[in-house]
């Protein structure tokens, strides 16, 4: 990474990769340092809440589908 990249804000893709990696507990130290130096906390909080909401809704739908197919 050169000096010009150090001042550039994170892209949406980089933020999503960081949120997904953090959700599964596999975030690298290098990316974590990048997130703290170039990212905005509000963006990560919003993406984290959005990811968690979608994850819970998908799990809920999956359980409902399995129960429906099981005849319960």
* Mean of all residue pLDDT scores within the chain: 90
* Every domain of the chain and the residues it spans: 3-70
Structure confidence at residue 43 as a pLDDT band (50, 70, 90): very high
- Count of beta carbons in the 10 Å neighbourhood of residue 34: 17
The model's pLDDT over 3-40, given as tens digits with 9 standing for 90+, comes to: 566 778 999 999 999 999 989 999 889 999 999 999 99
């Amino acid at each position: 990474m050169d000096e010009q990249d150090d001042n550039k804000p994170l892209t949406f893709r980089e933020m999503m990769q960081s949120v997904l990696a953090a959700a599964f507990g596999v975030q690298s130290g290098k990316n974590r340092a990048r997130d703290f130096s170039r990212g905005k906390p509000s963006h990560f909080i919003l993406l984290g809440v959005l990811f968690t909401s979608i994850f819970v809704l998908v799990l809920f739908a999956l359980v409902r589908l399995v129960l429906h197919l099981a005849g319960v």
